[in-house]
Amino acid sequence: MNLQQLCHNANIIVKKVGAFIKHEAGNFDRGRVELKGFNNLVSYVDKEAEKQLVEALRNLLPEAGFITEEETDNTRGERFNWIIDPLDGTTNFTHGLPLYSVSVALLDGDEVVLGIVYEVNKDECFYATKGNGAFLNDNPIQVSPAEGLRDSLIATGFPYYEFGLTQQYLQVLGAFMGKSHGVRRLGSAALDLAYVAAGRFEGFFEYNLNAWDVAGGAIIVQEAGGHVSKFTAGGDYIFGREIVASNGNIHQEMLDTIAEHWKEQLP
């Protein structure tokens, strides 16, 4: 399989779906927003975008299965599986805040070998394939060279449910605020990861995430020279519901800072 050609073709699909999302944003009706759970929003745009992605990616790689946020198709393939978040940052989208993305990744067995994160409003397409580097709109990207937390800007996400660990999280957040240039919360984990890969952030951490939130961005960080793990050094950061991504230089500092206050794990 030629991963680079597959990624090129998948980029075309993702950008086409992104154009649909951008068009719908211009006339979006907030009355058509649904709740999957407390503070867990979904719109007809999420659902239609996912249907378009599944149909086109199925035609692109017929033997692949799917892991999808909106459950358009969750039929697993024997070897390959697409992991899809059709609109990462739905809350931003429904409130008219122009920070959201389309995230697509390809699993080969248990390993992510291709990732795409498309920022719709700025027309920025971040992508990577295993062993071939990371790119933004066809230009190579690398993580920031910053040596320590003291020189770093950190991204995170705030919990919108699962509030049982909020106090621990706030302690971790406070520690990062005191050790870095600051902490930002954009509302799209996929974009946070892409921005780490591009050197805009030095690090990112968040808990209570799903595979579709992180799979596409994680490989882009790695191929840009960064490092990705759970809150401890090892573990399954794709399906493990927590992630730390960094430029590599500050990774241990990030893990140590989290470990000072994060004593429990999600069930």
Per residue, the 3-state secondary structure of 43-76, as one string, reads EHHHHHHHHHHHHHHHHHCCCCEEEECCCCCCCC
Q: Under the phi-then-psi rule, with left for phi > 0, alpha for psi from -120 to 50, and beta for the rest, what region is 241?
A: left
Question: Pick from 114, 111, 91, 92: which is nearest to 103 by CA?
Answer: 114
What is the rounded CA–CA span in Å between residue 99 and residue 49?
16
In the chain, the largest separation of any two C-alpha atoms, in whole Å, equals 50
Burial class (CB in 10 A: 0-12, 13-18, 19+), 218: buried
Buried b (16+ CB within 10 A) or exposed e, 17-49: bbebbeebbeebeeeebeeeeeeebbbebbbbb
Q: Confirm whether residue 71 is marked as ligand binding.
A: no
Residues 92, 188: contact at Cβ < 8 Å? yes
88 is in an annotated binding site: yes
Query: Is 85 assigned to a binding site?
Result: yes
The enclosing H or E element of 141 equals strand 139-141
Locus of tokens 């999957």: 36
- Binding-site residues for Mg(2+), in ranges, read 69, 85, 87-88, 213
Binding site per annotation, positions: 69, 85, 87-88, 213
